[in-house]
Amino acid sequence: MNNLVKVTRPNQNDNDSNKDKNKNSDIAVITIDNPPVNALSPGVPEAISAAIDEINADPAVKAAVVIGAGRTFVAGADIKEFVKMTAAGARRATLLPLLLRIEDSAKPVVMAIHGSAFGGGLELAMSGHYRVASPTAQVGQPEVKLGIIPGAGGTQRLPRLVGLAKAVEMCAEGKPVSAREAAALGLIDQLIEGDLLAGAISFAHDVAGKPAPKTRERTAKLGTPTENAAIFAAARSVAAKKQRGLKAPLAAINAIEAGTSLSFDEGCQAEAKFFTECLFSDQSKALIHVFFGEREVAKIPDVPKETPTLPVNRVAVVGSGTMGGGIAMVFANAGIPVLLKDVDEAALAAGMGKIRKNYATSVERGRFTQAFVDERLQMITPVPSYDAFSSVDMVVEAVFEGMALKKEVFAELDRVCRPGAILASNTSTLNIDEIAAATSRPESVIGTHFFSPANVMRLLEIVRGKKTSNEVIATCMQLSKKLGKIGVLVGNCRGFVGNRMFGPYRREAQFLIEEGADIEAVDQSLVEFGNAMGPLATGDLAGLDVGWRIRKEYRHLEKPGIRQPFAEDRLCELGRYGQKTSKGWYRYDENRRPIADPEVIALIRKWSAEAGVPQRQISSDEIVDRCTYALVNEGARILEEGYALRAVDIDIIYLNGYGFPAYRGGPMWYADTVGLPKVYQRVCEFQQQHGELWAPAPLLKRLAEAGKTFAEFDKEQLAAA
């Protein structure tokens, strides 16, 4: 054994002074201690196995409790090991023999779960004869989120405990269930309020000496072939819709299905085959990159972990429009009271009306209960003046996008807010330093760029100004987690990271149409690539007029003689703003369904002829390459200019703010998987065909010529920091 797993024999009643403190009880406690989350890293399974041997060899032990040290039971297999294995093309050491060893233990093994029992952690728990849990614990098979499936018998043991339908749902969707639900399902035998270990020991005493049930021998919940066929068909159809393009959910369903006609051991072999196929797939490598990336973005080299943070217990939002209203909901949902300010009572009433409507929809859809919503609404106080602003710790400004107005609002905030309060802007394009200069405290000014709808989208771009203090940055990063967002720190350039890249992406979508592609073909190709929506339908949703206004404001910055798209501006001139006017790139019916509009394509063909743009057939591959490599090329510039800390930060922004498919890992990871020499070569071809807008980013050229990847660039940067 090693120090990752300990076996102890606590006294049954340490408080009883009459007892001999050194007297061992007959229950052994096996504690897994592999911080931070007790992953089953090399050494841990071996030590658990040795511990099981030890308790079986010791006649004084009647039963054992397995528990996790620290904040959780076991978060699963060690995901870092998967990265090493796939990089080396090596096979993994399977956990299956250990789990059989536990299940075959002659002495009952009680698994005591707190925190989470995920993946291999739940598989370990299911190999025990009993499971007890703290009511706050969570259990689940989230492997599909990593592009894999349970690989240690989870697809075979879980159906035996919770029934086929629930097992299929848990393995294919990957969502955790609470300990309470797990108890109702039969996955947990007892919930323990208070001291988990004491409760588990007491439970172990009750079952010691009695025949211990083996999960793999249970069959009562396995269902009939007819019932099962309907479950699998329904699950496949849900997976095709909800997890479009993902292979792992279907593999998880296949593995469970295989188990219904095979013995337990054969079922495990079938599972192992599907698991290995998934593990070595590009999808899994991408999703594992995303898992670590989501954690990496929280690490900012010059803002160390120990940077002090400021309290954010009460906030204010200025502007109760689309974004301000959503942002107020985000704070209220996290239990932080909000003052919501707008120009007058009428604007406030409209803003509060939209908030109420949004909450009502959430109740209708079963996302929130009415009681939760009533409580949240109590936390939002509409205010027509700045009078109470002296009491808040942070303000988020979300008024119209215009520098003069923003400066006016920030000058006012500087007057009314207490020293040290954070002054944040939700601007999507404007210069944070210029806004900060309207105050006497630029160190307290920062950009917090929420994405629409703010209460739904997970991304929060946190925009660092030249003078923003480390405390303010650290506070906003920490706050993003509390708000249920993924905060990514970005630099202060036009459009920051996400929108700056989105510009060339949408530009190329328009060029393609102007050169002869159909509107639906452009959207469809990018949806088939895996994006949540095509770029033109996205434009219609957001409102084409928004970009049009911005382009008009910044036209003076455009270099003369460089090709610019014209289609969208012309559509706006005709009042086709998108869904809000029922006409944009598409026509919309009363249910907001997009319908191809022959009028639009006829107009574009006419405008293209007038502009002398040659027309041609355009393949789906070209559509994807043009749009996606436009993202990559701009991303490489942003990276080199230092506006994004790492390539992975760009990936996380695109996955969480722009609907880029997670199973492709984000635009920069995707470029790595294609191979940067190939991407660079294609960018050079586009430069020859379309001119200077496609000049390759110097970093892309350098990495391609050196045969390197963006991921390697990240590693080198980290090593140099």
Active-site positions read 123, 143
Binding segment for ligand NAI (CB under 6 A), chosen from 112-120, 141-149, 223-231, 335-343, is 335-343
Binding flag, residue 322, ligand NAI (CB under 6 A): yes
Q: In the set 119, 324, 487, 498, which binds ligand 3HC (CB under 6 A)? A: 119
Among ligand NAI, ligand 3HC, none, residue 578 binds (CB under 5-8 Å by kind): none
* Cβ-based neighbour number of residue 393 at 10 Å: 19
Q: Output the smallest distance, CB 327 to ligand 3HC, in A.
A: 23
Q: In the set 328, 409, 462, 647, which binds ligand NAI (CB under 6 A)? A: 409
Burial class (CB in 10 A: 0-12, 13-18, 19+), 197: middle
Q: Output the smallest distance, CB 350 to ligand NAI, in A.
A: 7
Q: In the set 25, 49, 105, 116, which binds ligand 3HC (CB under 6 A)? A: 116
In contact, 208 and 200? CB cutoff 8 Å:
no
Binding flag, residue 80, ligand 3HC (CB under 6 A): yes
The encoded tokens of residue 619 equal 């393949």
Q: In the set 26, 143, 397, 461, which binds ligand 3HC (CB under 6 A)? A: 143
Binding flag, residue 462, ligand NAI (CB under 6 A): no
- Bridge partner residues of 131 (DSSP): 111
CA distance 671 to 679: 7
Select 169 or 342, whichever has its Cβ closest to ligand NAI. 342
Q: Output the smallest distance, CB 99 to ligand 3HC, in A.
A: 10
Buried b (16+ CB within 10 A) or exposed e, 119-140: bbbbbbbbbbbbbbbbeebbbb
Q: Output the smallest distance, CB 138 to ligand 3HC, in A.
A: 8
Q: Output the smallest distance, CB 276 to ligand 3HC, in A.
A: 11
Q: Output the smallest distance, CB 476 to ligand NAI, in A.
A: 16
Binding flag, residue 154, ligand 3HC (CB under 6 A): yes
CA distance 348 to 345: 5
SS3 category, 131:
strand
Is the preceding omega at residue 225 within 30 degrees of 0, hence cis?
no
Among ligand NAI, ligand 3HC, none, residue 174 binds (CB under 5-8 Å by kind): none
Neighbouring C-alpha atoms within 13 Å toward the C-beta of 606: 8
Q: In the set 15, 18, 305, 400, which binds ligand NAI (CB under 6 A)? A: 400
Q: In the set 12, 41, 309, 452, which binds ligand NAI (CB under 6 A)? A: 452
Binding segment for ligand NAI (CB under 6 A), chosen from 198-206, 316-324, 374-382, 529-537, is 316-324
Binding segment for ligand NAI (CB under 6 A), chosen from 41-49, 319-327, 571-579, 599-607, is 319-327
Binding flag, residue 247, ligand NAI (CB under 6 A): no
The angle formed by the CA atoms of residues 271, 275 and 279, to the nearest 5 degrees, is 175
Binding flag, residue 142, ligand 3HC (CB under 6 A): yes
Distance (Å) of CA 558 to CA 509, 551, 554, 567: 19, 9, 7, 17
Among ligand NAI, ligand 3HC, none, residue 592 binds (CB under 5-8 Å by kind): none
Q: Output the smallest distance, CB 554 to ligand NAI, in A.
A: 13
In contact, 664 and 670? CB cutoff 8 Å:
yes
Select 307 or 429, whichever has its Cβ closest to ligand 3HC. 307
The encoded tokens of residue 665 equal 């890992």
The encoded tokens of residue 613 equal 């743009």
Binding segment for ligand NAI (CB under 6 A), chosen from 162-170, 211-219, 313-321, 436-444, is 313-321
CA distance 442 to 469: 8
Buried b (16+ CB within 10 A) or exposed e, 210-220: eebebbbeeee
Lookup result for tokens 């007959």: 26
Q: In the set 96, 110, 146, 436, which binds ligand 3HC (CB under 6 A)? A: 146
Q: DSSP letter string over 23-72? A: ---SEEEEEE--TTTT-B-TTHHHHHHHHHHHHHH-TT--EEEEEESTT-
Binding flag, residue 151, ligand 3HC (CB under 6 A): yes
Binding flag, residue 534, ligand 3HC (CB under 6 A): no
Q: Output the smallest distance, CB 114 to ligand 3HC, in A.
A: 12
DSSP 694: G
The encoded tokens of residue 67 equal 């528990």
Among ligand 3HC, ligand NAI, none, residue 512 binds (CB under 5-8 Å by kind): none
Q: Output the smallest distance, CB 38 to ligand 3HC, in A.
A: 9
In contact, 27 and 9? CB cutoff 8 Å:
yes
Binding segment for ligand 3HC (CB under 6 A), chosen from 118-126, 328-336, 402-410, 659-667, is 118-126
Among ligand 3HC, ligand NAI, none, residue 142 binds (CB under 5-8 Å by kind): ligand 3HC
Q: In the set 45, 55, 73, 78, which binds ligand 3HC (CB under 6 A)? A: 78
Q: Output the smallest distance, CB 123 to ligand 3HC, in A.
A: 6
Q: Output the smallest distance, CB 14 to ligand 3HC, in A.
A: 30
Residues from 510 through 569 that contact ligand NAI (CB under 6 A)? 542
Name 144's Cβ contacts closer than 8 Å, sequence gap at least 6: 171, 172, 173, 174, 243, 246, 248, 249, 252
Name 379's Cβ contacts closer than 8 Å, sequence gap at least 6: 331, 332, 335, 336, 337, 338
Binding segment for ligand 3HC (CB under 6 A), chosen from 140-148, 487-495, 562-570, 700-708, is 140-148
Binding flag, residue 343, ligand NAI (CB under 6 A): yes
In contact, 347 and 320? CB cutoff 8 Å:
yes
Is the preceding omega at residue 176 within 30 degrees of 0, hence cis?
no
User: Nearest to ligand NAI by Cβ — which residue?
Assistant: 321
Q: In the set 320, 362, 510, 579, which binds ligand NAI (CB under 6 A)? A: 320
Binding flag, residue 77, ligand 3HC (CB under 6 A): yes
Select 76 or 325, whichever has its Cβ closest to ligand 3HC. 76
Q: In the set 98, 110, 114, 123, which binds ligand 3HC (CB under 6 A)? A: 123
CA distance 466 to 442: 8
In contact, 496 and 437? CB cutoff 8 Å:
no
Binding flag, residue 38, ligand NAI (CB under 6 A): no
Binding flag, residue 319, ligand NAI (CB under 6 A): yes
Binding flag, residue 428, ligand NAI (CB under 6 A): yes
- Taking CB atoms within 8 Å and a gap of at least 24, the contacts of 672-677 are 672/709, 672/710, 672/711, 673/282, 673/285, 673/286, 676/700, 676/703, 676/704, 676/707, 676/708, 676/709, 676/710, 677/704, 677/705, 677/707
Q: In the set 45, 68, 128, 150, which binds ligand 3HC (CB under 6 A)? A: 150
Rg of the chain on CA atoms, in Å: 29
Select 172 or 438, whichever has its Cβ closest to ligand 3HC. 172
Residues from 15 through 44 that contact ligand 3HC (CB under 6 A)? 36-37, 39
Q: Output the smallest distance, CB 140 to ligand 3HC, in A.
A: 8
The encoded tokens of residue 415 equal 């007057």
* Residue 375 phi, psi dihedral angles, 5° rounding: -65, -45
- Which residues sit at the interface with ligand NAI, rule CB under 6 A? 318-324, 341-343, 347, 351, 398-401, 405, 409, 426-428, 451-452, 542
- Which residues sit at the interface with ligand 3HC, rule CB under 6 A? 36-37, 39, 72, 75-80, 95, 116, 118-120, 123, 142-143, 146, 150-152, 154, 292, 295
